[in-house]
Amino acid sequence: MAPVKGEHFLPEVWALFSLGSLWVVMRFAVRIRIFGIYGLQIDDGFAFVALFAFAIVIAGIHCTYYTATNIDYAPDEVWALTPAKVKQVEWGTKFYVITWYALTFYLWVPQVFSLKAIVIILYRRLAFGSWQKKLLKFTIVLCICGFTATTLLLTLLCLPFKKRFQVQPLPDKNCTASPYAFIVLSCFNAVTDALLLAIPVPLLWTLRIPLCKRCMVFLLLSSGIFVLAACVTRVSLTVVPNITVRIIARWGTRELSIAMVAVNSASLRPSKALLI
């Protein structure tokens, strides 16, 4: 069906982006206050680039809100579009594809420009046991596999690639809102989030701090549980018939905003032992 605009859609998207951006700004404010600008580490660079990728996703969502995409129309509806509207929808679909790659870049690129890399680097600074270090290395490898699999799937699922932007006639679902891409991305994302969640839990029993503070540390280190919940919710609501870009964008933005807040929260009340 043709896309229906909602007055609350864009305000929600930009509010979520502002929330995630605020957490990154606060992260840098805390790090610079404690260590100075020359004391910033590589994971601070990852946080900045993740924010840049998030901005690309939001810009793409904003553009497709006005242009629509080939996902938003039924096969019989596209033939009623004027040539000018077809051109507009083609451009909107290109923006949509760009946001998919930006999303993959945001979540995955292992050891480089990734939210998960921020968490991994944070964990590598902590005094883990041998089995936790092995699990961390396994998680890094899984992140690499997740990025590779998702990128290859996005690129090779629809060939020739230009079919992704086709409007008249509409291409098959593999070239538009393929459930395979959602499932692969979400499965790798959920599994690695769960592994990153499991790694720090045993460390809490060795900390010689009051129970209240121990619980606070647990909430900080296991913040991935909120991202995991958002990921599961998003995939359950987007892998459905008659999916629209509005649904994909709304839940995708919610997941990314929660991830940005969760990952950067550990830096807002740091200790030098944790951050050096």
pLDDT at 19 over 90: yes
Q: How far apart are CA 143 and CA 114, in angstroms?
A: 10
227 within a domain of the structure (yes/no): yes
To the nearest whole number, what is the mean pLDDT of the chain? 77
* Secondary structure, 3-state, 176-244: CCCHHHHHHHHHHHHHHHHHHHHCCHHHHHHCCCCHHHHHHHHHHHCCHHHHHHHHHHHHHHHCCCCCC
- Of 18-32, 122-136, 171-185, the poorest mean pLDDT is in 122-136
Count CB-CB contacts under 10 A for residue 82. Answer: 8
Question: Is the model more confident about 193 or about 101?
Answer: 101
Cα separation, 226 vs 66, whole angstroms: 31
Distance separating alpha carbons of residues 49 and 58, to the nearest angstrom? 14
- Pick from 182, 155, 161: which is nearest to 243 by CA? 182
- For residues 168 and 165, give the distance between their C-alpha atoms in angstroms, rounded to a whole number: 10
Quick check: is 274 in a domain? no
Task: Average the pLDDT over each of 179-183, 226-230, 245-249, 256-260 and give the range with the smallest value.
Answer: 226-230
- Per-residue confidence at 112, pLDDT binned at 50, 70, 90? very low
CA 256 to each of CA 17, 22, 37, 115: distance values in angstroms, whole numbers, following the listed order: 8, 13, 27, 10
Q: Is residue 17 part of a domain?
A: yes
The pTM of this model reads 0.75
Q: Residue 221 and residue 200: Cα distance in Å, rounded?
A: 7
Give domain status of residue 1, yes or no.
no
Q: In whole angstroms, how far apart are CA 133 and each of 6, 196, 267? A: 47, 11, 22
pLDDT at 175: 82
Q: Please check whether residue 3 lies inside any domain of the structure.
A: no
Q: What is the pLDDT of residues 41-93, one digit of tens each?
A: 877 887 888 888 889 989 989 988 888 888 888 888 888 889 999 999 999 99
pLDDT tens for 158-167 read: 888 888 888 9
Q: How many domains does the chain have?
A: 1
Q: Is residue 132 part of a domain?
A: yes
Say what the pLDDT of residue 156 is: 86
Q: Looking at residue 4, what is its pLDDT?
A: 58
Chain centroid to CA 157: how far? 21
Q: At what angle do helices 83-107 and 42-67 cross, to 10 degrees?
A: 160
Q: Is residue 276 part of a domain?
A: no
Closest-CA residue to 90 (of 164, 144, 194):
164
Cβ–Cβ contacts within 10 Å for residue 224, how many? Answer: 25
Range of the domain at 131: 8-266
223 against 43, higher pLDDT: 43
Residue 101 placed within a domain? yes
